[in-house]
Structure 1
Amino acid sequence: MQNMVPSRVFLTKGVGRHKYQLKSFEEALRKAGVAQQNLVQVSSILPPKCKITSRDKGLAELTPGQVCFCVMARADTDEHGRLVASSVGIAVPKDGRKWGYLSEVHGHGMDQREASDMSEDLAAGMLGTTLGLEVDPNKAWSEKEQVYKSSGLIIRTSNITQTARGKRDLWTTVVAIAMFLFDD
């Protein structure tokens, strides 16, 4: 394993429920399609030239027991009615020789839109600062998104987000994951 730079990434998500927190997490990973992998969480750099592939294509390449690197957002609750959210945002630079960013957002009380906007905003903001773009942090994501995209330096932002409400007498876990893949 000389060169451990991922060549592709795919996004997946899941929600799980169980009376035990660990089993709830396992169920969320199962819904995401990655429960049979050994997941190693890494930080938030999208390598240069890393291509985004579909969930189905990515899952088809995985082998049970395989060690897989990922960026994961996870939130848990055992409170009935409590809203949990997890989201991974992605920002891809126009220049394929430069790196992009992934961001993780996880927490309580955020709905789908709030979590997805925040994760894209964070990823684009981190990439923007490395490219010399300074945007007013107090602006809404929709305004900042236009600035980033009109700069011509960032070509794509997206996210994968999972939300759920806690159920009585059960743990609820939500995960959002960016799974890295390597060429042979």
Structure 2
Amino acid sequence: MVVPTKIFFTKGVGVHKDRLASFELALRKAGIERCNLVYVSSIFPPYCTEIPCGEGLEMLQAGEIVYCVMARNETNEPNRLVSAAIGLALPKDADEYGYLSEHHAFGESAAISGEYAEDLAATMLATTLGIEFDPNRAWQEREQIYKASGKIIETKQICQTAQGEKNGLWTTVIAVAVFQ
């Protein structure tokens, strides 16, 4: 059984005439291009701890199979705003699991995309923990309810945005939670 004990977050942007090469350049910017990435769903394991990105990158080996949650978006439309965000919500009880969420959008600022991803992760965790809330309330109101419940200890997000390259080259953005 593989249960990660560490996680780090990274992000990147790539621009190239070829779509795949643009993605590769975003992976390089994020520092994870030398790994074989396996996308997993959104569970943050109990007792998993966050480590700094630099420390996590140093632990990776070329060719290593690495599990990650990735948000990715791309465009070849000049000046089109693209975003990719990962949200995180952690329960107070270390025996419980948390949630990661991916969000990718067009036309959203980093603040809006990041907040949406954070809100999504927190909402998934809140429903799992039985926290009552009104889903129609604004994120800031629900965030206070979630944290006041004493069951959710932390929420956060990482987001990467970019505008499509002015001459129509492919622009790719990624936000990644990398498990170790």
Q: TM-score, normalised by structure 1?
A: 0.96
Identity over aligned residues, as a percent? 54
- Matches of 2:136 and 2:20 in 1, distance apart? 38
Q: Residue 27 of structure 1 corresponds to which residue in structure 2? A: 25
2:130 counterpart SS class: coil
Query: Equivalent residue of 2:172, what SS?
Result: strand
Specify the alignment match of 1:108 in structure 2.
Answer: 106
Instruction: Write the letter of the residue equivalent to 1:150.
Output: A
Q: Secondary structure at the match of 1:30?
A: helix
Mark the runs of 5 or more structure 1 residues left unpaired by the alignment: none
Rounded Cα–Cα distance in structure 1 between residues aligned with 2:65 and 2:93: 30
Which of the residues 84, 87, 96 maps onto 2:85? Answer: 87
Q: TM-score, normalised by structure 2?
A: 0.98
Q: Deviations over 1:84-140 (max 9, x none)?
A: 000000001000000000000012111111101100000000000010013222222
Q: In structure 2, what is the Cα distance between the partners aligned to 1:85 and 1:169?
A: 17
Other-structure match for 2:41: 43
C-alpha distance in 2 between matches for 1:142 and 1:19: 40
Q: Which runs of 4+ in 1 moved over 4 A?
A: none
Q: For residue 119 of structure 2, what is the aligned residue in structure 1?
A: 121
Q: Which amino acid aligns with 1:89?
A: G
The count of corresponding residues between Structure 1 and Structure 2 is 179
Alignment match, 2:176: 177
In 2, distance between residues paired with 1:112 and 1:169?
22
- 1:97 is matched with which residue? 95
Which secondary structure state, in structure 2, belongs to the residue aligned with residue 4 of structure 1? Answer: coil
Letter in 1 for 2:129: L
Letter in 2 for 1:173: T
Q: What's the secondary structure of 1:119's corresponding residue? A: helix
Correspondence for 2:140: 142
Query: Structure 2 counterpart of 1:98, which letter?
Result: E
- 1:65, 1:134 → 2: CA distance? 45
Q: Give, in whole Å, the separation in 1 of the partners of 2:79 and 2:132.
A: 39
Q: CA RMSD in A?
A: 0.7
* SS of residue paired to 2:154: strand
Instruction: Measure the CA separation in 2 of the matches of 1:11 and 1:142.
Output: 23
Cα separation, 2, equivalents of 1:158 and 1:83: 22
Give 1:14's aligned amino acid.
G
Q: Distance in 1 between matches of 2:116 and 2:154?
A: 15
